[in-house]
Structures are given as C-alpha cells and as structure tokens.
C-alpha cells in the first residue's frame, strides 16, 4: 500500500490533504470500520460512524478501493472497485475522509487510465499483462519535471480560473496551470521559469484564510461538475469530416449527441472516426464496458495517425479511459465521471474538448447491477429509478461555456448507446433522447449491406442545424438549402420505395425514377464513407460542399432534361455516372481541382445531351 514515489500513493491517496485545494479540504479523517457482509462488489461494514456518502474507503488487507453508497447508523454499504474474492467478515475498512477524486495536472495527455484513474501502463510495469487486485499506481508521474512559464508576479491579485503559468504538455497541448476554483488571493511568491514536478509548490497566495501553497496539480471529486462563469450558445460546428454528420446532422461545439445502434452497426467505428478527425483541441475517449481489443486498436492506431490540421500524432491530444467489460463493474460506473472531469479540466483552460463515451448503455447496466445488489426497487427493465437523473447529470456537464478565467470553451459529448436487440424503445435510449440534441440512429439493415456509416437519414436528427448554419455559410452561402434539398430527395425516395416494393420501379414515370437514381448517387457517392479509405476517411468541409454541389447539379440538370423528354435510361448510361459515384475516393482533400474538372466535364456532357434533345 506504500510506494517509493514521493507523492502519496495510488487512488487511496485521496486521504492526503489535497495539494491543489481544488476539492473539499479534508482532515486526515480515517476511522476504521469492520466488514460484516460481502456479496460480490457490494460490501457492508459497521463502525463507520461519521462516514460520508461517496467517501472513498480501503477495504481488507489488500486495501481494495471502494466508495460509500449507503449509510444507516454506523453501518455503511460500500461498492468496491475490484474483485472481492476471499474477502472475509471482520476485515478492516479504512476511511479516507474524501470523495473519489482525480488528479489534474500535466501528464494526463496521451495517457491511458482505468475507470478510477490508475494508469494502465504503470500497472503493466508492476504486474505484467494482468491487472492484479489492490495495485496502486499514482495517476501522474511524480518524478517527471515539466517546463513552467509563470504568468503572474508577486503582489498581483489573482482569482479562481486565472492562469498562474503555462507549460507545454505535448507539442499539441499548451497546458495552463490555473488558480483552483474557490481560491482567491494575492501572490506572495511565484517560482521563476524552470522545470518542476506536479507536486512542487509553484506559488503561494495570501488568501483570507491564510497563506495557500499551490502546486501544478490539483484534485477534484469526480461526481461534482467543475464551475464555470456562464453558459454560452452553441454556434460553431464540431467539424468531424464525416459527411453525413457534418452536412446532414451536424453537432455544435459544446453539443450533446447519442449514437444508438444494435451490435455490428458501427457505433465504435463511428466513435473512433470522431476521435480521429473531429476538430476539438482535446479528445477524451471513454471505453466503458466495451471490448479489450478495441482499446488496443485505439492505442495501436492513434500514435500513428496524424491530426489533419497540425500533422502531429493524434495521441498528443488524446486521453483514454479504458474500463473494459471484464474489468470490475463498479469502476465502470465511475469511469464516465472520471472522463468528464478530465474534460472539464481542459475546458477550463479555454479549450474545446470532445468526450466520446462508448458505451453509455454499459454504464447504465453497471448502475442496474449495483442497484440490484443494493436491493433497490427497480423501475423500467430493472434499471434504477434514478437512471434519467443520472443521464441528465452526465449530459449536462457538456456545453459551450465562458470559463472562470473568462474564455469561451466547450465540452461536447457523444455517447454511444447499445440498445438490447437494437430496439430504440428501451429505457436507456429513450431517456438519453431527452437530454441530447443530436441523434445519429444506426440502422441494422444498412450495416448488413455494409453501408457505413450506417446512420439512417430518416431516423436521425440534429437540433444544431440552425445554430451552425451561420458558420457553414462562410464555406457555402447556400449550405442550409443544400442540406434541405438532400434530405428532401432522400425522403421522397423513401416514399417511392414503398410503391416500388409493391409494383416494381418500371411503372414509375421517369421524373420519379430520377429521384430513385439521384438518391442512389447520394447514398453511394456521398453518404457512405469508408473509415479505411485513406483519401476519404476525413472529408474536409470544402470537399463536402464540392461533392454535394456536383450531385445536386446532376439532379437539377437531370430533372430539366427528363422533364423535357430525355429518357432517364440515357442519363443513367452515361459513362461518367460511375465516376460521379466514385469521386469521393478518387479526389482527396487537396485535389479539389480534380473535382472541379469532373464537375465541368459533367456539365459539358449534359449540355451535349441537351443539344441532342432540343426542347
């Protein structure tokens, strides 16, 4: 339970006084209770007089980390984050007096943590390929020194959220050391520029409560949102480079979105695509109760992938939280909060952050599992009655804000939902819908046809389309109209398909079959986008607009020609039609001239057709 690291060790270290003063100040409380019952991850203990709800405790001789979730007299119910095999009644329970908190400071970026912020590389260094119980590794490297540039002078009055100094955490991330929330005072001393560890005091403030030493790192309880000055309107899109999202169902910076879909519909791949290509400055990826190999894939792939805007490895702006399905269920429950707290910390530095949570259903199931063990009365499908509240609390931690330091910043949240049997009427999907504004419904039929991303254009929606239209108008003044036109064609096609299913396409007039044809071009030539196509995995806004223009031009010109009596078959048989379909992977983001040339050629060919068939 002890380590050679100079910092107080491991997750249990929350017992120590908080160096950052971020969380509630806690005395060295620590009473000792005694286990009376063990049932899976739920342990009951007596002698816990004075314990607080959500206080962290260490259970048994291994010091397994747990959290108090129910109090009755001096009896506490504890959810334990590790396997409780061979735990016996009578085992000691050590109180720490503080709620579960994360360490915040330089060194988070590029790291990979489990649900309670234990770094997985550190665990591997200690216990090999397997996660042994009771393993404790500090979340931040205590020995590493970071180059700090101070930003305040002695005698200066500083408030919460103000920058004390900056340090280059990775080439992509300028880390700002901020005055923790709730702290205000005059700078008594500040260290000169130089290299410091996260725990060293870098500034001393004279506060009304006396002098306060501030190190680079601070702690924050994960279940409490970090404060902001005010909430702002979302007006800038989170550009993802995924055509169906950006063009049809955009999400704003600070927005919230859900990706529901049965298994095999591509939730995880969509999340990976967003993590790779979206234009947030910081990515927090939470693998919550999902497959181990998927996290391995991220770990293997991200260091090699280059950020399309800076050319640096993506890992330099990414934090991973991995609590896979076979890791303890209680830690899965808390992993969501761990992730969002890290995101808020970077948001407070004035950055745009995207949180990708895969999957919130596994989190909800963890809630259900723990509630059942606590013998709580279940609501819908066994989920606890608090499910909607918990979902709302999570999604409300996203948003565009003005930080305490006065800057505009945002946390966008995209949560994958895994409805049982792909049925969207189940409680998690239904309640999630109430708290998000963007719904990307993945469709099993599309996935079966390997139409990826399998976001269904009729079942999805975005309430941000209006909000971000102004931004897009800089790229294309008629963005909103183009979007409406695409959606209208797809909707009309759906209605026509109902008829086709009954009587076949042959009976439809050419004007209607043109809709079917164009819808096919939209689906094959625009909506589908392969994550593994080097040229097409990321589609720049400029290229998205060029592709839409090409297709809509074909539609409008084709409509005129067909109305003038040109048989649709003539149009379909044109040699360049397959070229239009494949244009998305033929011309990369820096080959827009090629697209323009194709556009010109198609226009000329259409002109020629027009001349052949004079009106």
Partner 1 sequence: MAEFKLQVQDRGLQYVGSRRIEGPLLVVERVRDVGYDEVVEILGPDGRARLGRVLDISDTAAIVQVLEGTTGLSNEATRVRFLGESFRLPVSRWMLGRVLDGLGRPADGGPPPLSADRRDINGMPINPFARRYPREFIQTGVSAIDGMNSLVRGQKLPIFSGSGLPHDRLAAQIVRQARLLEENVEFSIVFAAMGVKHDVAQFFISNFESSGVLARVTMFLSLADAPSVERLLTPRAASTLAEYLAFDCGRHVLVLLTDMTNYCESLREVGTARGEIPGRKGYPGYLYSDLASVYERAGRIEGSDGSITQMAILTMPSDDISHPVPDLTGYITEGQFVLDRDLSARGIYPPVASLSSLSRLMKDGVGEGYTRGDHPRLASQLFASYARVRQVRGLADVIGEEELSRLDKQYLKFGDAFEHRFIGQGEYENRTIQETLELGWDIVSLLPRDELHRLTDELLQEHYREGIASDG
CB of 444 to partner 1, least distance (A): 8
Which residue, 362 or 397, has its beta carbon nearer to partner 1? 362
Minimum separation from the CB atom of position 295 to partner 1 (A): 4
Q: What is the arrangement of strands in the sheet containing 146-150, beginning at the earlier edge strand?
A: 173-178, 163-170, 146-150, 194-196
Our CB check for partner 1 shows the closer of 84 and 403 to be: 84
Name the H helices within 278-425. 292-301, 329-347, 360-373, 387-395
Long-range contacts of 430-433 (CB under 8 A, 24+ apart): 431/387, 431/388, 431/391, 432/258, 432/260, 432/360, 432/391, 432/395, 433/258
Q: How far is the CB of 93 from partner 1 (least distance, A)?
A: 13
Token representation of residue 409 = 């910043």
Q: What is the phi-psi region of residue 119: left when phi exceeds 0, alpha when psi lies from -120 to 50, beta otherwise?
A: beta
Secondary structure element (H or E) that encloses residue 177, with its range: strand 173-178
- In the complex with partner 1, the residue whose CB is nearer, 87 or 354, is 87
Alpha-helical segments (H) within 476-588: 479-503, 510-522, 541-563, 568-572, 577-586
What's the sign of the alpha-carbon dihedral 298, 299, 303, 309?
positive
- In the complex, what is the shortest distance from the CB of residue 577 to partner 1, in angstroms, rounded to a whole number? 8
Residue 496's Cα: distance from chain center in Å? 38
Q: How far is the CB of 356 from partner 1 (least distance, A)?
A: 16
Q: Which is nearer to partner 1, 127 or 207 (CB)?
A: 127
Is the CB of 299 or the CB of 592 nearer to partner 1? 299
State the minimum distance, in angstroms, from the CB of residue 263 to partner 1. Answer: 4
Taking the least distance from each CB to partner 1, the nearer of 132 and 145 is 132
Residue pair 257/417 in contact (Cβ under 8 Å)? The answer is no
C-beta closer to partner 1: residue 166 or 430? 430
Q: How far is the CB of 270 from partner 1 (least distance, A)?
A: 13
Answer yes or no: are the C-beta atoms of 537 and 531 closer than 8 Å.
yes
Separation of alpha carbons 398 and 252, rounded Å: 11
Cα atoms found within 13 Å of the Cα of residue 9, Cβ hemisphere only: 13
Q: Looking at beta carbons only, is 367 or 476 nearer to partner 1?
A: 367
Least Å distance, CB 57 to partner 1, is 17
Q: How far apart are CA 178 and CA 176, in angstroms?
A: 6
Q: In angstroms, what is the minimal distance from the CB of 132 to partner 1?
A: 6
Tokens encoding 295: 């996290």
Looking at the Cβ atoms of 101 and 359, the one nearer to partner 1 is 359
Determine the distance from the C-alpha atom of residue 573 to the mean position of all C-alpha atoms in its chain, rounded to a whole number: 44
| Nearer to partner 1 among residue 49 and residue 582 (C-beta) | 582
Q: From the centroid of its chain, how far is CA 495?
A: 35
For residue 165, the minimal CB distance to partner 1 (Å) is 31
The answer for residues whose C-beta is within 8 angstroms of residue 45's C-beta and 6 or more apart is 33, 34, 35, 36, 57, 59, 75, 76, 78, 93
The CA distance from 402 to 207, in Å, is 25
């Amino acid at each position: 339970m002890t380590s050679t690291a100079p910092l107080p060790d491991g997750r249990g270290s929350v017992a120590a006084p908080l160096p950052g003063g971020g969380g509630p100040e806690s005395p060295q409380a620590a009473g000792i209770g005694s286990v009376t019952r063990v049932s899976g991850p739920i342990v009951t203990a007596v002698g816990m007089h004075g314990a607080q709800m959500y206080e962290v405790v260490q259970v048994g001789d291994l010091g397994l980390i747990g959290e108090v979730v129910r109090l009755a007299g001096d009896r506490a119910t504890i959810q334990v984050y590790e396997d409780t095999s061979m735990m016996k009644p009578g085992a000691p329970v050590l109180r720490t007096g503080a709620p579960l908190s994360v360490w915040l400071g330089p060194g988070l970026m590029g790291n990979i943590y489990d649900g309670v912020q234990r770094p997985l590389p550190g665990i591997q260094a200690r216990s090999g390929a397997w996660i042994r119980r009771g393993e404790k590794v500090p979340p931040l490297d205590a020995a590493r020194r970071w180059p700090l540039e101070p930003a305040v002078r002695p005698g200066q009055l500083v408030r919460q959220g103000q920058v004390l100094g900056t340090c280059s955490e990775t080439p992509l991330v300028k880390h700002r050391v901020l005055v923790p929330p709730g702290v205000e005072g005059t700078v008594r001393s500040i260290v000169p520029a130089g290299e410091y560890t996260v725990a060293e005091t870098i500034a001393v403030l004279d506060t009304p409560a006396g002098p306060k030493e501030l190190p680079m790192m601070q702690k924050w309880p994960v279940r409490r949102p970090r404060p902001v000055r005010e909430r702002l309107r979302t007006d800038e899109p989170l550009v993802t480079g995924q055509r169906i999202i950006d063009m049809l169902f955009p999400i704003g910076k600070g927005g919230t979105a859900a990706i529901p879909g049965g298994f095999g519909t591509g939730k995880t791949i969509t999340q990976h695509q967003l993590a790779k290509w979206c234009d947030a400055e910081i990515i927090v990826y939470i693998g919550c109760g999902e497959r181990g190999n998927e996290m391995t894939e991220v770990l293997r792939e991200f260091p090699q992938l280059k950020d399309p805007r800076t050319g640096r490895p993506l890992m330099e702006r990414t934090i991973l939280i991995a609590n896979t399905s076979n890791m303890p269920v209680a830690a899965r429950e808390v992993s969501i909060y761990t992730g969002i707290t890290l995101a808020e910390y970077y948001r407070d530095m004035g950055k745009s952050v995207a949180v990708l949570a895969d999957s919130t259903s596994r989190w909800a199931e963890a809630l259900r599992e723990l509630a059942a063990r606590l013998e709580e009365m279940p609501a819908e499908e066994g989920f606890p009655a608090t499910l909607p509240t918990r979902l709302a609390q999570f999604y409300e931690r996203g948003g565009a804000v003005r930080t305490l330091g006065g800057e505009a910043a945002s946390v966008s949240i995209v949560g994958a939902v895994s409805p049982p049997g792909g049925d969207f009427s189940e409680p998690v999907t239904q309640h999630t819908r109430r708290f998000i504004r963007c719904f990307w419904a993945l469709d099993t039929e599309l996935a079966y046809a390997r139409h990826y991303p399998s976001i269904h254009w009729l079942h999805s929606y975005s309430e941000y389309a209006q909000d971000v239209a102004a931004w897009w108008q800089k790229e294309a003044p008629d963005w909103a109209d183009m979007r409406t036109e695409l959606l209208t064609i797809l909707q009309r096609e759906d209605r026509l398909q109902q008829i086709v299913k009954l009587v076949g396409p042959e009976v439809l007039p050419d004007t209607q079959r043109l809709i079917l044809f164009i819808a096919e071009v939209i689906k094959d030539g625009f909506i589908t986008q392969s994550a593994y196509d080097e040229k097409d995995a990321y589609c720049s806004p400029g290229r998205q607009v060029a592709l839409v223009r090409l297709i809509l031009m074909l539609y409008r010109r084709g409509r005129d020609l067909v109305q003038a009596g040109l048989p649709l078959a003539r149009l379909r048989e044109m040699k360049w039609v397959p070229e239009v379909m494949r244009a998305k992977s033929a011309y990369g983001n820096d080959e827009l001239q090629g697209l323009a040339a194709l556009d010109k050629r198609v226009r000329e060919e259409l002109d020629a057709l027009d001349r052949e068939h004079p009106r």
